[in-house]
Amino acid sequence: MTRLFPPIEIANIGTKLFVAAGAGEAESCIASESLITSSLMGHDSHGVLRIPEYLGFLADGRIVPRAELAVDRTSQATAIVDCGQGFGAVGARHAIELGVTIAREQKTASIITRRCNHVGRLGAYVHQAADSGMIALATCNSPVYGHDVLPFGGCDGRLGTNPIAYAVPTGRDPIVADFSTSVAPEGKIRFARNEGKAVPDGWILNANGQPTNDPNAFYGPPRGGILPLGGSAGHKGFALSLLVEILGSVLSGVGSQDKEVFGNGVCFIVIDPTAFLPLADFRRLMDETVAYMKSARPAPGLDEVLVPGELEFRTMRQRERDGIPVDDSTLTAMRNHAGRLRMEFPDF
């Protein structure tokens, strides 16, 4: 069962749990808030349900509490942020803040991470940059154990679901796009399997490279693969996914098959629009462009054209009011961790 809870309440519990597990106050707060914000914006798969997962990673050492962040400013406009295998959200937030600072000075910045854990919803970081008036692009790859996505024309997984995100300021809510470069994220296939349902055509191949709708044929063993974005034009999704792999892995000096790596390889590219025109003009033209997109007649059966991020901001406002959904199994997992860590847990 899933019930609604005030976001602040769950955020506080998350913070306390991370602190009880040995993490610092500030980093726990950032990590917890980052997960709660994902839930607020409707991305439950990157939300509250990750709190027990992160507690597990803290317990087994995959997340290092109180990790030192080290910045190597490799040039005026570029930097490497070594996240020391701490909370991914802490490292990625530091990296995008550095990107914004550099872009304010240099008008453009390219930042990559090393030893960065699971960063959660990639859109959060570019959103943060857009709130500072910046255009930001982000890519995020996964190491070899997450290579479930097939190269176009192949039937062995060679890539992660490799999301791309970007955000752009407007006069109102920013544009925030965030999407996997596979046809679907793995979580949706797991969801279908758990529900005993078939997945749509064009999502997965079985281990022999044949199309299937059966999620079990993907999980195997032997394991099948997820198709890249684009269907018959899947060479485009493959190209995007490969770019994410290159920026997340090769550029940080790590091989695509390196088995020692855990977490995400992130690349942020930040551009200050004031390099090209005053911010007020940029915002006004963005509002015009958004209005132009939304002026298209909706397709039959739809109410309106939505720009990237619009649905998320609506969900956020509704959930700030009504609460965020937390399912019982996540609550139980959190309660069990609290017991293990001898922390009081509210009697929901």
The interface with its own copies within residues 71-100 (CB under 8 A) comprises 74-78, 80
Name the strands in the sheet holding 108-114, side by side, starting at the edge strand that comes first in the sequence: 70-75, 78-82, 108-114, 265-271, 135-141, 164-168, 175-179
Please give the Cα distance from 174 to 272 (Å, whole number).
14
**240-253 exposure pattern, b = at least 16 Cβ within 10 A, e = fewer:** bbbbbbebbbeebe
- Residues 187-206 within binding reach of its own copies (CB under 8 A): 200, 202, 205
Distance set, CA 113 to CA 139, 147, 252 (Å): 11, 19, 7
Shortest distance (Å) from residue 87 CB to its own copies: 23
Nearest to 159 by CA among 133, 137, 185: 185
- Give the three-class secondary structure for 341: coil
Q: Which of 68, 195, 304, 347 binds its own copies (CB under 8 A)?
A: 304
Amino acid at 201: D
Which residues ranging from 203 to 262 are in contact with its own copies (CB under 8 A)?
205, 208-210, 229-233, 235-240, 242-243, 245-247, 249-257
Angle at 51 between CA 46 and CA 54, to 5 degrees: 95
Q: How far is the CB of 61 from its own copies (least distance, A)?
A: 27
By beta-carbon proximity to its own copies, the closer residue of 58 and 267 is: 267
Annotate each residue in 277-296 with x if it binds its own copies (CB under 8 A) or - if it does not, as one string: x---xx--xx-xx--xxxxx
Interactions with its own copies, residue window 49-68 (CB under 8 A): none
CB of 118: closest distance to its own copies in angstroms?
22
Q: How many residues bind its own copies (CB under 8 A)?
A: 89
* Token couple for 167: 């955000």
Among 273, 312, 316, 324, binds its own copies (CB under 8 A): 273
For the CB of residue 104, give the shortest distance to its own copies in the complex, in Å. Answer: 11
Please pick, from the candidates 2, 4, 223, 276, the single residue that binds its own copies as defined by CB under 8 A. Answer: 276
Note the maximum CA span of the chain: 57
Least separation in angstroms between residue 264's CB and its own copies is 16
- The encoded tokens of residue 158 equal 């060679």
3 state DSSP class of 309: coil
Q: Is 88 exposed, middle or buried (0-12, 13-18, 19+ CB in 10 A)?
A: buried
Please report whether residue 183 would count as binding its own copies according to CB under 8 A. yes
Among 259, 297, 321, 342, binds its own copies (CB under 8 A): 297
What x-and-dash track marks residues 96-135 binding its own copies by CB under 8 A?
A: ----------xxxxx-x----------------------x
Residues 9-48, one symbol each (x = binds its own copies by CB under 8 A, - = not), give: ----------------------------------------
